[in-house]
């Protein structure tokens, strides 16, 4: 413990932002071969069951905002706001949400509302109904 106190705080500061700041010095950036991979996702345990991901539900909007319309950018707005779309007629399953993110419109969902719904799903925050479902969809291979 005493050792920790003796260390200058600088050592912690240096580790963090050098790489992303990239101001000034011009570095070399390799883009890699087409087949190379540059992203690894750390999978939380909640994604361990594929079935739960496909069948979980995302209400649009969240029940606590029932009746609100969804603007094209995914924000919730007052009913009847021009350019906004009506709430989804039923909660979407995780599988349907994934298809919509990939450009498809499930049966019973207005294709013209797809982008607004997708943007709403993207904006889901922790604590909002459907968030865990959306987070699970982010796992590669799902």
With b for 16 or more beta-carbon neighbours within 10 A and e for fewer, the 101-139 pattern comes to: beeeebeebeeebbbbbbebbeebeeebbbbbbbbbbeb
User: Which residue, 47 or 84, is less far from another protein as judged by CB?
Assistant: 47
Secondary structure (3-state) at 30? coil
The CB-of-79 to another protein minimum distance in angstroms stands at 25
Check residue 11 for interaction with another protein (CB under 8 A).
Answer: no
The mark string for 106-125 relative to another protein (x by CB under 8 A, - otherwise) is ----------------xxxx
Specify the DSSP class assigned to residue 44.
Answer: P
Binding segment (CB under 8 A) for another protein, from list 57-65, 89-97, 106-114, 127-135: 127-135
The answer to whether residues 96 and 84 touch, using CB atoms and an 8 Å cutoff, is: no
Instruction: Choose, by CB under 8 A, the member of 8, 16, 63, 82 that binds another protein.
Output: 16
Q: How many residues does the chain have?
A: 142
Q: At its nearest, how many Å lie between another protein and the CB of residue 13?
A: 12
C-alpha to C-alpha distance for 135 and 125, rounded to whole angstroms: 10
Q: Which of residues 67-96 bind another protein (CB under 8 A)?
A: none
Is 34 a residue that touches another protein (CB under 8 A)? yes
């Amino acid at each position: 413990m005493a050792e920790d106190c003796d260390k200058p705080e600088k050592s912690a500061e240096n580790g963090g932002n050098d790489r992303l700041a990239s101001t000034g010095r011009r570095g070399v950036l390799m883009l890699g071969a087409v087949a190379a991979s540059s992203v690894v996702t750390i999978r939380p345990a909640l994604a361990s069951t594929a079935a739960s991901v496909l069948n979980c539900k995302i209400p649009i909007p969240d029940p606590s905002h029932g009746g609100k319309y969804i603007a094209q950018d995914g924000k919730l707005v007052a009913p009847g706001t021009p350019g906004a779309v009506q709430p989804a007629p039923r909660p979407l399953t995780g599988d349907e949400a994934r298809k919509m993110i990939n450009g498809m419109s499930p049966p019973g969902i207005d294709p013209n509302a797809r982008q607004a719904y997708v943007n709403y799903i993207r904006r889901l925050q922790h604590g909002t109904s459907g968030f865990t479902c959306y987070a699970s969809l982010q796992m590669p291979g799902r």
